[in-house]
Amino acid sequence: MGMRRVAIVGAGMTKFVRRALETGPELAWEAASRALASCDLRLSDIDGVVLGTAPDAFDAVHMKGEYLSDGAGAWRKPYIRTYVGGGTGVFSVIQGWYHVASGVFDTCLVVCEEKMSSHIPHPQGAFITIFDHILERPLGPNLLWIFAMEMNAYMNRYGLRKEDIAYVAVKNKRNAADHPAAMLGVRDITIKDVLDSPVLAWPVQRMDVSPIADGAVAVVLAADHVARRVTDKPVWIEGVGWNVDTTYWTNRDLSYPTYLEEAARMAYRMAGIKEPRKEIHVVEPYDPFDYKELHHLEGLLLADRGKAPEDAATGRFDRDNENHPDWLPSSPSGGLLGVGNPIAAAGLMKVAEIFWQLRGEAGDRQIPGNPKRGLAQAWGDLMQIGTVVILGV
């Protein structure tokens, strides 16, 4: 297609916390400056900047892209804000990728920020305005409706047990105990803890859901010739995919994310992947809810439909279970359920985790076996978009 190869050469993040003293731009600066420092680049080496952040209402600041621009390193540079809801964190890398792949820039700084603690009393108050103002908001919706109904449809279609789904929350919160930036790492959590947590909107219970958070993450992208000068461990962006379904979720099959399958197929095609279950060595699927990780593993064609919960129960997705015949470590970072969920930043955290895993720099979270290829995925808008990035070394 006449495009240039693009690599991720650096990554950095802030701690994810319930309430940060730092403003949004300060969080963005902290993550961006760490990402630059990680690859010994300075802001003056950056040709363009992509900023990803979810709805303005989350930070309770209008025109958040402009508000955050200085913190993202965009002063007197080409700059764009990207936003596809929860899918933003992974999509921001896709947008950075085409800036560089196209030849427009040699380097691009990609920054994602979210500061959800500004809301009183809870950002749900802002989130519910995503519902249709004519068809749904007159009911006084609760954000959890939509997820609870999707989870119920998924469970019903395949006859799934809550304990198999809860396993994901346990796995991810345990994994997060080894993440220095995590908000909710718990080493000794059990399935019973999840099943005993308060019911919010059945079948969603407290510990099935990721916590809202403040935080920022950044990565540095570079074209082939620059990447090789900057680092001896470039992590290549081998495939990207994204796809959107109808806004009207009442016109969708809620038990299977077809739009994600389309996004995954696009990315696999670009990466030349024929057998994703063998060729992907580590995966960071989007896990704002425990069932979503499983739903997404199925949509990514990494598990059979309705079988991901069963696979999880066998330990297939555990971080250190390399003797499992179909081992596929999933959310080794601890995911949104464990590290925290500052929306756009959480998606980019997943890309950063794959970057660290493929470079062997994931510390106590490092999966064994020198993984060569990994996939990060996010999901969002009105649960209608899938965004996928495949990285390789």
Partner 1 sequence: MEKVNIVTQAQPWVDRFPLTGRYTYGVAGERFFRELKENGRFFGTRCTACDVVYVPPRLYCLRCFAPLEEWVEVPSTGTVHTFTVVHQDLDEAPLPTPEVIAFVQIDGCDGGLVHRLGEVAPEDVYIGMSVEAVLKPTAERQGGLTDIAYFRPTLR
Among 1, 2, 76, 139, binds partner 1 (CB under 8 A): 139
Do the beta carbons of residue 112 and residue 53 sit within 8 Å? yes
Alpha-carbon gap, residue 133 to 55, rounded angstroms: 16
* Cis peptide bond N-terminal to 123, omega within 30: no
Count of Cβ atoms closer than 10 Å to residue 113 Cβ = 37
Among 80, 191, 201, 244, binds partner 1 (CB under 8 A): 201
Query: What's the closest the beta carbon of residue 323 comes to partner 1, in angstroms?
Result: 29
Check residue 165 for interaction with partner 1 (CB under 8 A): no
Residue with tokens 């319930």, as numbered in its chain: 18
Among 1, 44, 134, 275, binds partner 1 (CB under 8 A): 134
Burial 134-163 (b: 16+ CB within 10 A, else e): eebeeeebebbebbbbbbbebbeebebebe
Pairing of strands 79-82, 6-13: unpaired
Among 2, 121, 159, 325, binds partner 1 (CB under 8 A): 121
User: Pattern of binders to partner 1 over 17-36, x per CB under 8 A?
Assistant: xxxxxx-------x---x--
Among 190, 246, 258, 370, binds partner 1 (CB under 8 A): 246
Alpha-carbon gap, residue 56 to 16, rounded angstroms: 19
Of 60 and 266, which has the nearer Cβ to partner 1?
Answer: 60
Check residue 142 for interaction with partner 1 (CB under 8 A): yes
Check residue 120 for interaction with partner 1 (CB under 8 A): yes
Of 196 and 322, which has the nearer Cβ to partner 1?
Answer: 196
* Cis peptide bond N-terminal to 121, omega within 30: yes
Check residue 150 for interaction with partner 1 (CB under 8 A): yes
Check residue 75 for interaction with partner 1 (CB under 8 A): no
Residue with tokens 């439909």, as numbered in its chain: 305
Query: How is residue 145 written in tokens?
Result: 């409706």
Q: Footprint of partner 1 on this chain (CB under 8 A)?
A: 12-15, 17-22, 30, 34, 57, 60, 62, 120-122, 124-125, 128, 133-136, 138-139, 141-145, 148-150, 152-153, 156, 180-181, 198-204, 246, 248-251, 254, 363
